[in-house]
DNA sequence: CTACTTGCAAATGCTTTGCAGGAGA
DNA sequence: TCTCCTGCAAAGCATTTGCAAGTAG
């Protein structure tokens, strides 16, 4: 199954990057990464608690913080006030999010390259007129997911 | 100055909408709305505390919550974990945000109508293929503001 | 062995709420 | 004068951290 292949590649990359920071790729960290890979969308802390019931919450928070610092995980601002996390785009691909305003679920989606080009161009141009130096962008679509309508 | 004219219109609208919910447009609520109008960009709770030092924080939170329920104020998910608030788009116009990753400031910007049309079309189409019913979208640009580079 | 990790429990800090007094209409 | 609003202090709750024991290399 493709997901396993993907997970393996990710593990290799994560381990290398942690090593570079004199950090170890331990069981707990690996479990978090596995969860993020298999979820394929941003997960909340309660998703982690549910998926990894033996991992103490404090460790989950610490792992996620460490992985963020290492640039391997990204915090996603959802519409509710709960933190969500996903693999950094280096480990996946550029994508955006659909946020269900009813149940809070966040789903990944990847628009066409042409659309992305248009967004990037517009962003670069507009941002320059504001004296703003853009690094990246994110597009969130709010609405109701398939389960909620 | 245009801002005063705007503020007046906004006050009238806010008062009417609160009335409709049997709520009063009191000094504290008015102060919050004034702050949001004059800021012209999303403000954090600490911005409120700074701008309205005599307003107790609990009242600020309560006013913002009430105004949100009334559909007059919108909570903005920033990149940091601090809640920010802005006037709802009914009271302003559709726009997006530039987020400074260095100082956290959020700046409004309005892209061209053509661009918006493209975004809306793409969002509608893509979202449908996911069984997702889109209501609205937001585009955040991350980077460095003029003060931070 | 030495440095990084982890668990637990306690602490932190933003946000919310109960309640009694205050104010708008 | 009835209902909504406000302040204060206390509570809630997601998240963080100190510290001592565990473990990778």
pLDDT in tens, chain B (149 residues): 444 667 889 999 999 999 999 999 999 999 999 999 999 999 999 999 999 999 999 999 999 999 999 999 999 988 777 889 999 999 999 999 999 988 888 999 999 999 999 999 999 987 778 899 999 999 999 999 999 98
Protein-contacted bases of chain D (C-beta within 7 A): 3-10, 14-18, 24-25
A20 in contact with nucleic chain C (CB within 7 A): no
Beta-ladder partners of A99: A106, A142
Report d(CA B37, CA B74) in Å as an integer. Answer: 13
Q: A1-5, A98-102, B109-113, B115-119 — which is least confidently predicted?
A: A1-5
* Fold of the domain spanning B94-149: Dna Ligase; domain 1 (3.30.1490)
Comparing C-alpha atoms, which of B112, B119, B118 is closest to residue B138?
B119
Contact A60, A48 (CB under 8 A): yes
Residue B142 makes CB contacts below 8 A (sequence gap 6+) with: A134, A135, A136, A137, A138, B79, B99, B101
Mean pLDDT of A23-38: 97
Enter the tokens of residue B27: 């000094």
Mean pLDDT of A56-74: 97
CATH 1.10.10.10 residue ranges of chain A are: 1-92
pLDDT of residue B102: 85
Mean pLDDT of A102-115: 91
Confirm whether pTM is higher than 0.85. yes
Protein-contacted bases of chain C (C-beta within 7 A): 3-10, 14-18, 23-25
CA distance to A117, A130, B46, per residue, from B99 (Å): 20, 12, 17
Comparing every residue's Cα with the C1' atom of nucleotide C17, the nearest one is: B58
User: Can you say how many angstroms the Cα of residue B109 is from the centroid of all Cα atoms in its chain?
Assistant: 12
Distance B88 CA to D1 C1' (A): 35
CATH 3.30.1490.190 residue ranges of chain B are: 94-149
Chain B positions in Cβ-Cβ contact with residue A135 (cut-off 8 Å)? 101, 142-144
Nucleic strand D contacts from chain A, 68-107, CB < 7 Å: 82-83
Determine how β-strand A96-100 pairs with β-strand A133-144.
parallel
Comparing every residue's Cα with the C1' atom of nucleotide D7, the nearest one is: B56
Asked if A113 reaches chain B (Cβ–Cβ under 8 Å), the answer is no
H helix runs in chain B, sequence order: 2-20, 27-39, 45-51, 57-69, 113-129
Residue range B1-92, CATH number: 1.10.10.10
Identify the closest residue of chain A to B141 by CA–CA distance. Answer: A137
- Average model confidence (pLDDT) for chain A? 92
């Amino acid at each position: 199954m493709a997901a396993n292949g993907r997970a393996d590649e990710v593990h290799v990359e994560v381990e290398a990057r942690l090593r570079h920071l004199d950090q170890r790729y331990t069981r707990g960290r690996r479990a978090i990464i596995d969860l993020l890979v298999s979820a394929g969308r941003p997960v909340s802390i309660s998703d982690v608690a549910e998926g990894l019931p033996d991992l103490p919450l404090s460790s989950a928070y610490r792992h996620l913080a460490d992985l963020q610092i290492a640039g391997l995980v990204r915090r996603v601002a959802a519409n509710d006030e709960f933190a969500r996390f996903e693999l950094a785009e280096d480990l996946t691909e550029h994508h955006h999010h659909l946020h269900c305003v009813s149940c809070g679920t966040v789903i990944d989606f990847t628009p066409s390259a042409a659309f992305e080009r248009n967004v990037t161009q517009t962003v670069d141009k507009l941002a320059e007129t504001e004296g703003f130096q853009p690094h990246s962008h994110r597009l969130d679509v709010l609405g109701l997911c398939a389960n909620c309508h």
